Structure 1
């Protein structure tokens, strides 16, 4: 049983005031996928939390030593927390099934609540019996998750802009990697991390120029061009790394790392302070980027034209919008954003460039675009989910979780598959995405 709920895009008019937020701008088919996934995860939770019960206590440490207010630690019994979690998950599963049966969509907030409850129960089960520690540093877990999500958010924003204007951007991985490489070299030579970030944005834009030229001017299949660009950038950066960076590490691959800039007062707030306000400038810039892209897409003439080109280029052309130019420069803008995100790997995190260090982050960012329904806010939330999952793997390994280490390595990608294949359902992106426009 399914039904279609169609969200029509804003008409292609010159008056920016006519733009209205259309978070999805896509046709979403209400299906049984979400209730089925909820049911599977609820059964899994019952097996883990109740059948494979753990009666020990798990301690959640909320505050850090630098917090102005110290919040007491929260202790949860692994078995009791597991039972409560399973009950709540079962209730959410039943409600979602009833909604679908009534031909209504399962709301996003329900997926968020389901995920939070599952994670709390899972952490209580995994930590209660850890071989090295029974303490979950909650502030560190969340702050680390945000840091790992930063390049994913930049990449997702690049994907949203490109696909909204009608160009499928498979080359996000290459743009991130080019940005990481260029940031490392420029920051090492100049001794300025900020110059490395600027150079990374330029490198990402150059990669996007190639994508835009072949996809828009020469009408080459956009997916093929994106895949080829990814392979090309991987090969080129690996070659330059082995031939130039490795032999001249002190000169070309020792970039200064960005300093953590705590925001006065806000950085002392328990839990929220370490998460959002004790970060580097590349993290603070992502807050600005998300807000700017959202406001720009849905509340400005630029965004109205961009969405019109991605939905109905023929209609946009009739009102005087230059389709090739609009697509070219917006794809370039997306590439610059992705390149800036790539700088996080070198000047914001690791401190040097390594071969293929993005490790598929561009593809996960592309999954976040789809999971988020081509909306910058939702895509950001999806990227945060994947970043949190990656850091959860590290935390579980540190506390001696009973989960095999090989499965922990797969965890972020398993979550990606479940999220996109299980929770999204059937979604249609911008109507003209991936379709070349030939005037006439």
Structure 2
């Protein structure tokens, strides 16, 4: 029983990690007032670029850095469209998702050809002496890969930066009252650009985790809606780092549960089980209807003076 519980918790955490990176990325973007449904495309782009670079270099660190940069570049495109050109933020996100799906599918066929399922170099687990031997918690918290350890650090760091520093105050002011922030001398454009680029970088790391830890190969459309679940987790977590990651853990636990139910061969249609994480996400959002308040300026373009729309 202990072994089953330990394995289940580890699986839940691993399924949660790419969601958590994307949700934290979306958090920075949306706290600045830029709606980011492009998380799916950022995840997929990070996964593809990470896989392609590792495929050619056999170096996971270079692949991870490339995934981070690729995600950041997608974030830059989203920021340029939404902040500078003031394109509808929903349309920009959808366009990025569609472009990412098409371009990664095309280049995956070009680069990987018949080697699409070839195992890539990936991160190995790093066990912390003594602590990794603690029952259940040892394998869950102290015998993980570098990206999971980085996520453990990122959650409290994001919470501190957002709610206990002047930088976080400036970012939240831009997301809530951009005109007041502008009047106070804060560059709304600069803050939004940095936030959306950071959002892309973190989502790219989520994609890198998918290909360099989780499965170690790239397939077309492998993000499989994780960006949208991350967005639901962000809303469920009320735009707070800890709440968003806990929501991701809930969805990861649901995914791990449906995989184990399938393994028991209970004669339940696998399509029904596969939709469980999405059903949980839907019920979570329905349950929060009217209770979760987004940043006041979320989705609104800002123009100096009185031309704000």
**Both structures adopt the same fold (TM-score exceeding 0.5):** yes
Alignment match of 1:388 (pick from 227, 247, 253): 253
What residue is the counterpart of 2:78 in the other structure? Answer: 211
Deviation at 1:290, TM superposition (A): 1.1
Write out aligned runs for 1:267-278 (5 A): 267-278=132-143
Match of 1:322 among 159, 162, 187: 187
Q: Which residue of structure 2 aligns with residue 74 of structure 1?
A: none
- Cα distance change on mapping 1:275 and 1:425 into 2, 3 Å: farther
Match of 1:180 in 2: 47
User: In the alignment, is the contact (CA less than 8 A) between 1:255 and 1:351 conserved in 2?
Assistant: yes
Do residues 331 (structure 1) and 208 (structure 2) align?
Answer: no
RMSD, matched Cα: 1.4
Corresponding residue of 1:261: 126
Q: C-alpha displacement at 1:368, in angstroms?
A: 0.4
Deviations 1:340-394 (A, max 9, x none): 1110111111111100001000000000010010111000000000011001011
Q: Distance in 1 between matches of 2:169 and 2:291?
A: 25
- Where does residue 22 of structure 1 map in the other structure? none
Q: What are the residue-to-residue correspondences of 1:218-367 with 2, within 5 Å?
A: 218-247=85-114, 254-367=119-232
Where in structure 2 are there 5+ consecutive unaligned residues? none
Q: Secondary structure at the match of 2:275?
A: helix
Q: Which structure has the highest helix share of the two?
A: 2
- Distance, in Å, in 1 between the alignment partners of 2:269 and 2:295 is 41
Contact residue 152 and residue 364 of structure 1 kept, 8 A: yes
Runs of 5+ in structure 1 lacking a partner?
1-60, 65-136
Residue 356 to residue 249, structure 1, CA distance change in 2 (3 Å):
closer
- Match of 2:120, SS state, is coil
1:415 aligns with 2:280: yes
Q: Number of residues paired by the alignment?
A: 305
Which residue among 251, 276, 293 is the counterpart of 1:428? 293
Name whichever structure is richer in strand by fraction.
1
Deviation at 1:402, TM superposition (A): 5.3
State the partner residue of 1:163: 30
Give 1 or 2 for the bigger CA radius of gyration.
1
Please tell me whether the aligned partners of residues 116 and 219 of structure 2 are also in contact (alpha carbons under 8 angstroms).
no
Cα deviation, residue 423, structure 1: 4.2
2:52 and 2:111 in contact (8 A); partners too: no
Shift of 1:422: 2.1
CA separation in 2, counterparts of 1:235 and 1:406?
25
Q: TM-score normalised to the size of structure 2?
A: 0.95
**Aligned counterpart, 2:61:** 194
With a CA cutoff of 8 Å and minimum separation of 6, indicate the structure with the bigger relative contact order.
2
Which residue of structure 1 lines up, in the alignment, with residue 262 of structure 2?
A: 397
**Separation in 1 of the partners of 2:225 and 2:79?**
22
CA contact (8 A) 1:188 1:254 kept: no
Contact 1:184 1:254 in 2 (8 A): no
| 1:138 maps to 2:5 | yes
